[in-house]
Amino acid sequence: MDERYAIILAAGKGTRMKSKLYKVLHPVCGKPMVEHIMNRVEEVKPREVVTIVGHGADEVKAQLGARSAYALQAEQLGTGHAVMQAADFLKEKKGTTLVISGDTPLLTSETLDQLFEYHQGKNASATILTAQADDPNGYGRILRDRVGIVDKIVEQKDASPEEAQVKEINTGTYCFDNELLFEALDNITTDNAQGEYYLTDIIEILKDNGHIVAAYQTNDFEESIGVNDRVALAQANEIMRKRINRKHMRNGVSFIDPNTSYIDEEVKIGAETVIEPGVALKGKTTIGENCMITQNSQITDSVIEDNVVVKTSTVEESIVRSGADVGPYAHLRPKAEVHQQAHVGNFVEIKNAVIGEKTKVGHLTYVGDATLGKEINVGCGTVFVNYDGKNKHHTTVGDHSFIGSAVNLIGPVNIASNTCLAAGSTITDDVFENDMAIARARQVNKEGYAKRLPFLQ
CATH number of 4-224: 3.90.550.10
Confidence of residue 76 (pLDDT cuts 50, 70, 90): confident
- Binding site members for acetyl-CoA: 386-387, 405, 423, 440
**Predicted local confidence at residue 288, as pLDDT:** 98
Domain extents in the chain:
4-224, 248-437
Question: Once rounded to an integer, what is the mean pLDDT over residues 134-150?
Answer: 87
* pLDDT class of 292 with cuts at 50, 70, 90: very high
Distance (Å, rounded) from C-alpha 216 to C-alpha 230?
29
**Of the options 3.40.50.2000, 2.160.10.10, 2.40.420.20, 3.50.50.60, the CATH number for the domain spanning 248-437:** 2.160.10.10
User: pLDDT digits over 343-353, tens only?
Assistant: 999 999 999 99
Residue 147: its pLDDT value, please?
A: 80
Please provide the average confidence, as pLDDT, over all residues in the chain: 95
What phi, psi does 67 have (nearest 5°)? Answer: -75, -10
What is the predicted pLDDT for the residue at 60? Answer: 96
* Alpha helices, DSSP H, located in 173-229: 178-185, 201-208
Report how far residue 421's alpha carbon sits from residue 142's, in angstroms, rounded to the nearest whole number. Answer: 78
Q: What is the pLDDT of residue 417?
A: 98
Q: Taking residues 24-37, what's their average pLDDT?
A: 96
Measured between alpha carbons, how far is 4 from 49 in angstroms, rounded to an integer?
A: 9
pLDDT at site 14: 84
Based on the residue annotation, tell me whether 394 is a catalytic residue of this protein.
no
Cβ neighbours of 53 (radius 10 Å): 28
For the chain, percent of residues with pLDDT exceeding 90: 84
Task: Please tell me the predicted confidence (pLDDT) of residue 441.
Answer: 87
397-449 tens-digit pLDDT: 999 999 999 999 999 999 999 999 999 999 999 999 999 999 998 889 999 88
pLDDT in tens, 150-190: 888 888 888 899 989 999 999 999 999 999 999 999 999 88
- What distance in Å separates the CA atoms of residue 365 and residue 360, rounded to the nearest whole number? 11
Q: What is the pLDDT of residue 452?
A: 87
Is pLDDT of 450 > 90? no
In the chain the first and final C-alpha atoms are separated, in Å, by 96
- Which of the residues 339, 343, 363, 393 is marked catalytic? 363
Enter the pTM of the model: 0.90
In Å, how far are 6, 45, 61, 89, 100 from 66, measured between CA atoms?
Answer: 15, 16, 8, 15, 19
If one counts every other C-beta atom within 10 angstroms of the C-beta of residue 440, the result is 12
Q: Which residues make beta-bridge pairs with 415?
A: 397, 431
Residue 91 has pLDDT above 80, yes or no: yes
pLDDT tens-digit series, residues 367-403: 999 999 999 999 999 999 999 999 999 999 999 999 9
Q: How far apart are CA 382 and CA 336, in angstroms?
A: 17
Report how many helices (DSSP H) and strands (DSSP E) the chain contains, helices first.
9, 37
What digits encode the pLDDT tens for the residues 264-289? 999 999 999 999 999 999 999 999 99
pLDDT of residue 55: 84
What pLDDT score was predicted for residue 1? 66
3-class DSSP string for the chain: CCCEEEEEEECCCCHHHCCCCCHHHCEECCEEHHHHHHHHHHHCCCCEEEEEEECEHHHHHHHHHHHCEEEECCCCCCHHHHHHCCHHHHCCCCCEEEEEECCCCCCCHHHHHHHHHHHHHCCCCEEEEEEECCCCCCCCEEEECCCCCEEEEECHHHCCHHHHCCCEEEEEEEEEEHHHHHHHHCCCCCCCCCCCCCCCHHHHHHHHCCCCEEEEECCCHHHHCCCCCHHHHHHHHHHHHHHHHHHHHHCCCEECCHHHCEECCCCEECCCCEECCCCEEECCCEECCCCEECCCCEEECCEECCCCEECCCEEECCEECCCCEECCCCEECCCCEECCCCEEEEEEEEEEEEECCCCEEEEEEEEEEEEECCCCEECCCCEEECECCCCECCEEECCCCEECCCCEEECCEEECCCCEECCCCEECCCECCCCEECCCCCCCCCCCHHHHCHHHC
Instruction: Respond yes or no on whether the N-terminal peptide bond of residue 454 is cis (omega within 30° of 0).
Output: no
CA angle at residue 43 from 30 to 46, to 5 degrees?
A: 125
8 A C-beta contact, residue 257 and residue 275: no
Q: How far is the C-alpha of 405 from the C-alpha of 258, rounded, in Å?
A: 41
Q: Which is it for strands 268-269 and 286-287: parallel, antiparallel or unpaired?
A: parallel
Predicted confidence (pLDDT) per residue in 188-241, tens digit: 988 877 788 989 889 889 999 999 999 999 989 999 999 999 999 999 999 999
